[in-house]
Amino acid sequence: MPERDYLLFQLYGPLASWGDIAVGEYRPSYERPSKSAILGLLAAALGIKRPNTVESEPERANLEAHHAALAQGYGMSVECWALADGVVLGGLLRDFHTVQRPPAALVKKSKRPIITRRDELAFPSCELATTLSSRDYRTDAYYRVALWAKEDAPIPLKKLAEKLAAPDFVLYLGRKSCPLALPLDAHLVNKTAGWNDAFDHADFKPLDSLGITFAKRKDGTPIRIRYGETSEGDHLLQVSRRDQPLSRTRWQFDTRTEYQRVL
């Protein structure tokens, strides 16, 4: 495998939600960061809005193009660490929500654009309906992410690292109710022969002083699981995930293959 540069950063918080395929009132979460969530994090750091948050059609098309370029421009791998309690992928928390929103028939009749939450609540309260929803979160989970630039990458990795350190928009772990509990500590690992090697040569700041410790095996090595888009070395499982963005406007995703490696 040819040598290339990698951008690495860490993700940790009391709550995280990595949106899985959602049908009806149940909103599940992947147990580890999805590619769409990581790309959304990059877009927020760069100040790229979601297309459905603007009314201008040309501006929507421009934002859609920016998101498409990010989706096609980078490869991704994730390393999941077991904290001292021995849970590799964090705990599962299911929350029950009630949400007020205008019925679809009312929105269609009014012919007014519904872009933000404020637009939904602009209808008279007596006309709003109540939607029941269950949402899943991952609790107290720690991840490391490695990105590499493909030939058509729109932004250099060094620039992405700078924006992750000083983002234009607030960053969060899948949902606005899931703030970051640690700095991302984004940095480059240069000229390594794959994402496994990049993780091995990562230079993250120690977390012991913050009370964050990792579970270890009897030989002293930390317990980790790695997932990457390319097959490198031995892997136990090949999995498919529908988290490769096709269209942010239409909220469409394609399948993506990952290769698992347990250390």
- What digits encode the pLDDT tens for the residues 75-88? 999 999 988 766 77
In the chain, where the domains are located: 4-85+139-262
Read off the tokens for 177.
Answer: 């109710």
Task: Work out the burial of residue 218: count CB atoms within 10 Å of its CB; fewer than 13 is exposed, 13-18 middle, 19 or more buried.
Answer: exposed
* Structure tokens given for 63: 């934002």
pLDDT tier at 20, thresholds 50, 70, 90: confident
**Is 75 exposed, middle or buried, given 0-12, 13-18 or 19+ CB atoms closer than 10 A?**
middle
pLDDT of 97 strictly over 90:
no
From 50-54, 134-138, 164-168, the region with the lowest mean pLDDT = 50-54
Report the run of H or E that residue 114 belongs to, with start and end.
none
What are the structure tokens assigned to 109, written together?
Answer: 């009749």
Q: Give me the CATH topology for the region 4-85+139-262.
A: Alpha-Beta Plaits (3.30.70)
Q: Contact 77/214 with Cβ under 8 angstroms?
A: no
Confidence (pLDDT) at 86: 61
What does the mean pLDDT of the chain come to?
89
Instruction: State the pLDDT at residue 256.
Output: 93
Report pLDDT for 126. 83
Confidence category of residue 138, pLDDT binned at 50, 70, 90: very high
